[in-house]
Amino acid sequence: MDWHVRAFLKASLAWLTAGVTLGVAMAAHPVWTIYRPAHVHMNLLGFVTMMIYGVAYHVIPRFTGHPLFSVRAARSQWWLSNAGLALMVVGFAVRAHALPSGTPLLATGGTLAAAGAYTFVYVIWRTLDGPAGMRAAMRRTEQTMAASPRPKLPVATSAKSVER
């Protein structure tokens, strides 16, 4: 199993553990329900989404018969997604106490998590296209360039115009 697949699956399980633990704490201490947004994001973005990322990175290349478009991007996505979610969780917890640093933490984390999701979409989309899709896109670009009118350059008509 590839590193990025295993990393997403393990991160998913770690986020599930954290989310369930916070859920139990909220049940035991109802005042802690102020952390509900953090709990929800741990479970949905942390457990569910990370699991989807890991399974998709393992399964899609095998179903399509094409190699993953970019392993490097998948690894970067792991860092973006997990760092973003961690900042979001901290931001939600800090904001629950009306501290001004909560919103910038949340915004930064959300931006990183979104960048991770966009990276996932791009990598899977390009993987689904496969090598034939990439070649077809290159052919379309070449055809478009060949069909576009070329600018006409002035042509010298006499010896005087050539000298100038």
76 lies in a domain?
yes
Residues 123, 121: Cα–Cα separation, whole Å: 6
155 lies in a domain?
no
Number of domains in the chain: 1
Name every residue whose Cβ is closer than 8 Å to that of residue 44 and which is 6 or more positions away in sequence.
none
Mean per-residue pLDDT over the chain, rounded: 90
pLDDT, tens digit, for every residue of 79-95? 999 999 999 999 999 99
Q: Looking at residue 131, what is its pLDDT?
A: 84
> What domain range includes position 126?
3-131
